[in-house]
Amino acid sequence: MDRLQILGGIPLDGEVRISGAKNAALPILAATLLVDGLVRVGNVPHLQDVTTTNELLGRMGVSVTINERMGVEVDASSIREFVAPYDLVKTMRASILVLGPLLARFGRADVSLPGGCAIGARPVNIHVTGLQQMGADIKIENGYIKARASRLKGARLVLDTVTVTGTENLMMAATLASGTTVLENAAREPEVVDLANFLNTMGAKISGHGTDTITIEGVESLHGGSYEVLPDRIEAGTYLLAGAITRGRVMVKNVIPGHLDAVIAKLREAGGTVTLGDSTIAIDMRGRRPLSVDIRTAPYPAFPTDMQAQFAALNTIADGVGTVTETIFENRFMHMLEMRRLGAEIRLEGNTAIIRGVPQLTAAPVMATDLRASASLVLAGLVAEGRTEIERIYHIDRGYEALEEKMQSLGARIKRIPD
Ligand code: EPU
């Protein structure tokens, strides 16, 4: 397995272009299953999770063409199978996103039930219950969700918990249902909005996306078209943190600054001078040590769980004591234990980590446990004295396009060591 080697201590300085958002590209690719005709999706990031999604579609018989300039072209008319098999779902939970589209368009879906996950239990009960309320017959058999329906019927669904992929699955299913569906307590994440915009471009009738009540008027069919995926706010946030933690100066380009309000507020609290452009965000630490910040994760527009680990890394070397409280996932603190190996002073109390900033971390071998945990270890490695080696970096390749190249372009001394 490849490793990453980082020589810490260099303030980052430069500009970096942000890729398309993983968590928008994955549902949009799944949503192509709903479309009658050819779909072109642009600004799709080159990531392992995108490759897995393309493979999943390909195995169903869907035609997927990757064109460097135009993006990904998908035509689902050749579909033969309606199965998301265990061997793919176990590597990527987002495979569950094909459940709603397959059921709505083809009346059947066999999707392997995702198992445990490194960050929490992550059940999919809300996806299943919602589809049942729309008239689907669903059984769990041999580790698979086996769903059948003639035509789904619109319904008023009140979601128990705010769930991103749950909202997406039900919204996709409702586009082809008969009648109107109302999703209450829906997720408001920009990626949900992007998916709704994609579906509307293809002829769906969705309104209220971006609020907690989404209304979907079912239509007979969706038509082909082109769409560009929105920029990745978590990738952007991660590079801004790389600037902050190294006391450097980083500008992220091709972003939607309004999607990072909660993150920008915390960067300012940490002592960064943050400047916003139409599609850029710049942070300048003016060589100063960051100040500790308190973080509490919650659904959008509050502070994102996907930026929690990166801010934990910042707090490890910041001036003061900062707390990090995780309210979305039960077990998203594995990186804290690895950061202790770099000399961080972290005390865990339930879902809160109390981090006392130290003047200096020291390099050590560490292990990546999930995508955002890996990103936080890279950030810690950028400031640790000596050479930090991160193992199991396949997690990073799932969600950060060309991480080493982008970090190198900012001056980081980081390299991949192939096995
Ligand atoms: N939940 C349930 N039942 C359900 C669905 C969710 O209890 O049926 C709970 C979860 O266990 C969790 C909470 O609801 O406690 C919220 O989870 P959510 O469903 O929103 O998470 P997700 O849709 O599985 C997406 C992102 C994650 C991101 C979360 C939260 C994608 C493909 N994944 O996951 O991204 O952390 O929303 O914002 O969109 C990542 O990119 O590293 C990543 C993990």
Question: Which residue's CA is the nearest one to ligand 1's atom 43?
Answer: 306
Question: Which residue's CA is the nearest one to ligand 1's atom 36?
Answer: 306
Residue 355's nearest CA partner among 342, 370, 366 is 342
Rounded mean pLDDT, 402-407 = 97
Q: Could you give the CA distance from residue 273 to residue 244 in angstroms, rounded to a whole number?
A: 10
Rounded mean pLDDT, 332-340 = 95
pLDDT (tens digit per residue) in 196-243: 999 999 999 999 999 999 999 999 999 999 999 999 999 999 999 999
- Residue 69 binned pLDDT confidence (cut-offs 50, 70, 90): confident
CA–centroid distance, 122 to ligand 1, in Å, is 7
Query: What atom of ligand 1 comes closest to residue 399's alpha carbon?
Result: 41
Query: What atom of ligand 1 comes closest to residue 49's alpha carbon?
Result: 32
Task: For tokens 């609020």, name the residue.
Answer: 211
Q: Could you give the CA distance from residue 270 to residue 293 in angstroms, rounded to a whole number?
A: 6
Confidence at residue 116, expressed as pLDDT on a 0 to 100 scale: 67
Rounded mean pLDDT, 403-417 = 97
Residues 6+ apart with CB under 8 A from 419: 1, 2, 3
Are residues 43 and 255 in contact, defined by beta-carbon separation less than 8 angstroms?
Answer: no
Is the pLDDT confidence value at 70 over 90? Answer: no
Identify which of 47, 48, 165 to mutate to test ligand 1's pocket (most ligand atoms within 8 A of the CB): 165
pLDDT (tens digit per residue) in 280-315: 999 999 999 999 999 999 999 999 999 999 999 999
pLDDT (tens digit per residue) in 52-64: 999 999 999 999 9
CA–centroid distance, 414 to ligand 1, in Å, is 30
* Residue 339 token pair: 């950061």
Confidence at residue 118, expressed as pLDDT on a 0 to 100 scale: 78
Rounded mean pLDDT, 69-83 = 93
Angle (CA) 399-269-318 rounded to 5° is 75
Is the pLDDT confidence value at 130 over 90? Answer: yes
- Residue 114 binned pLDDT confidence (cut-offs 50, 70, 90): confident
Confidence at residue 331, expressed as pLDDT on a 0 to 100 scale: 85
pLDDT (tens digit per residue) in 141-170: 999 999 999 999 999 999 999 999 999 999
Question: Which residue's CA is the nearest one to ligand 1's atom 11?
Answer: 122
Paired sense of beta strands 13-17 and 249-253, if any: parallel
Question: Which residue's CA is the nearest one to ligand 1's atom 33?
Answer: 23
Confidence at residue 12, expressed as pLDDT on a 0 to 100 scale: 98
Residues β-bridged to residue 296? 325
Please report, rounded to a whole number, the percentage of residues in the chain having pLDDT higher than 90.
94
- Residue 65 binned pLDDT confidence (cut-offs 50, 70, 90): very high
Distance from chain centroid for Cα 69: 24
Confidence at residue 317, expressed as pLDDT on a 0 to 100 scale: 98
Is the pLDDT confidence value at 68 over 80? Answer: no
CA–centroid distance, 306 to ligand 1, in Å, is 10
Confidence at residue 49, expressed as pLDDT on a 0 to 100 scale: 94
* Residue 375 token pair: 């990103």
Q: How many helices (H) and strands (E) does the chain have?
A: 14, 24
Q: Could you give the CA distance from residue 351 to residue 353 in angstroms, rounded to a whole number?
A: 7
Angle (deg, nearest 10), helices 190-201 and 22-31: 30
Q: Is 117 a catalytic residue?
A: yes
Task: For tokens 């446990």, name the residue.
Answer: 369
Mean pLDDT (the chain) is 96
CA–centroid distance, 305 to ligand 1, in Å, is 9
Question: Which residue's CA is the nearest one to ligand 1's atom 29?
Answer: 164
CA–centroid distance, 12 to ligand 1, in Å, is 32
Are residues 284 and 273 in contact, defined by beta-carbon separation less than 8 angstroms?
Answer: yes
Is the pLDDT confidence value at 119 over 90? Answer: no
**Amino acid at residue number 144:** Y
Distance from chain centroid for Cα 22: 6
Residues 6+ apart with CB under 8 A from 348: 333, 336, 354
343: left (phi over 0), alpha (psi -120 to 50) or beta: left
pTM, two decimal places: 0.98
Query: CA end-to-end span of the chain, whole Å?
Result: 5
Which amino acids bring their CB within 6 angstroms of ligand 1?
23, 26, 94, 120-127, 161, 163-166, 305-306, 328-329, 371-372, 399
104: left (phi over 0), alpha (psi -120 to 50) or beta: alpha
Confidence at residue 122, expressed as pLDDT on a 0 to 100 scale: 85
Walk across the sheet containing 180-184 and list its strands.
156-158, 180-184, 213-217, 205-207
Query: What atom of ligand 1 comes closest to residue 26's alpha carbon?
Result: 32
Q: Considering the candidates 67, 87, 116, 117, report the single residue annotated as catalytic.
A: 117
Residue 24's nearest CA partner among 189, 167, 176 is 189
Residues 6+ apart with CB under 8 A from 125: none
Query: What atom of ligand 1 comes closest to residue 94's alpha carbon?
Result: 32
Query: What atom of ligand 1 comes closest to residue 122's alpha carbon?
Result: 11
Length of the chain: 419
Q: In Å, how far are 149, 205, 304, 375 from 234, measured between CA atoms? A: 36, 28, 8, 10
Confidence at residue 352, expressed as pLDDT on a 0 to 100 scale: 97
* Residue 360 token pair: 């200096």
SS (H, E, C) 197-252: HHHHHCCCEEECECECEEEEECCCCEEEEEEECCECHHHHHHHHHHHHHCCCEEEE
95: left (phi over 0), alpha (psi -120 to 50) or beta: alpha
